[in-house]
Amino acid sequence: MITERAMLAAVHISIWTAIKHDRKVSREVAEQHGAYAGAGRYNKQLLREAERLESLRSLSGQIRQYFYKITLPWSDEGYRLLPAHFYFELTTKMREFEQAFGQQVEEFLAVYPNYIQQVRPELNGLFREEDYPPTDKLRNKFGVRLEVLPIPSGNDFRVTLSEEEQARVAREIDESVRQSLQKGTEDLWTRLQGVVTHMVERLNEPESRFHASLVTNICELVELLPRLNVNQDEELNRFAGEIRDRLCGFTARDLKKNEILRAATANDAAEILTKMDAVLRERGQQIDSSTNAANADDIFAHMAAYMEAPTS
Kindly tell me if the per-residue pLDDT of 42 is higher than 60. Answer: yes
96 and 13 housed in the same domain: yes
| Per-residue confidence band for 308, with pLDDT thresholds at 50, 70 and 90 | very low
pTM: 0.76
Which residue, among 305, 294, 309, 254, has the nearest Cα to 65 in the 3D structure?
A: 305
281 and 195 housed in the same domain: yes
Within a domain: 265: yes
Q: In this structure, what is the dihedral angle of CA atoms 74, 80, 86, 89, given to the nearest 10 degrees? A: 180
122 and 166 housed in the same domain: no
Which whole number is the average pLDDT over 229-235? Answer: 89
Which residue, among 27, 43, 37, 18, has the nearest Cα to 118 in the 3D structure?
A: 18
Which whole number is the average pLDDT over 277-288? Answer: 76
Write the pLDDT tens digit of every residue in 65-121: 999 999 998 876 778 999 988 999 999 999 999 999 999 999 999 999 999 999 999
Give CA–CA dist 204/176, Å, rounded: 42
104 and 162 housed in the same domain: no
133 and 171 housed in the same domain: no
253 and 181 housed in the same domain: yes
pLDDT given for residue 300 in this prediction: 39
281 and 166 housed in the same domain: yes
Write the pLDDT tens digit of every residue in 117-169: 999 999 999 999 999 999 999 999 999 999 998 886 655 545 444 566 556 55
Which residue, among 149, 168, 147, has the nearest Cα to 157 in the 3D structure?
A: 168
**Last residue of some domain: 131, 149, 167?**
149
For residue 95, the enclosing domain spans: 2-17+51-149
Within a domain: 11: yes
Within a domain: 44: no
Give CA–CA dist 183/222, Å, rounded: 19
Q: What share of the chain is helix, strand, coil (3-state, %, to 5)?
A: 65, 10, 25
**Last residue of some domain: 119, 149, 179?**
149
Domains in the chain, number: 2
Within a domain: 311: no
61 and 190 housed in the same domain: no
| Per-residue confidence band for 7, with pLDDT thresholds at 50, 70 and 90 | confident
163 and 215 housed in the same domain: yes
| Per-residue confidence band for 177, with pLDDT thresholds at 50, 70 and 90 | low
Kindly tell me if the per-residue pLDDT of 182 is higher than 70. Answer: yes
Which whole number is the average pLDDT over 20-35? Answer: 87
Within a domain: 27: no
Where is 111: in which H helix or E strand? helix 87-123
Within a domain: 79: yes
Mean pLDDT (the chain, rounded) = 84
**Last residue of some domain: 128, 149, 170?**
149
175 and 160 housed in the same domain: yes
Within a domain: 199: yes
Within a domain: 43: no
164 and 293 housed in the same domain: yes
Give CA–CA dist 267/215, Å, rounded: 15
171 and 276 housed in the same domain: yes
Name the percent of the chain lying above pLDDT 90. Answer: 55
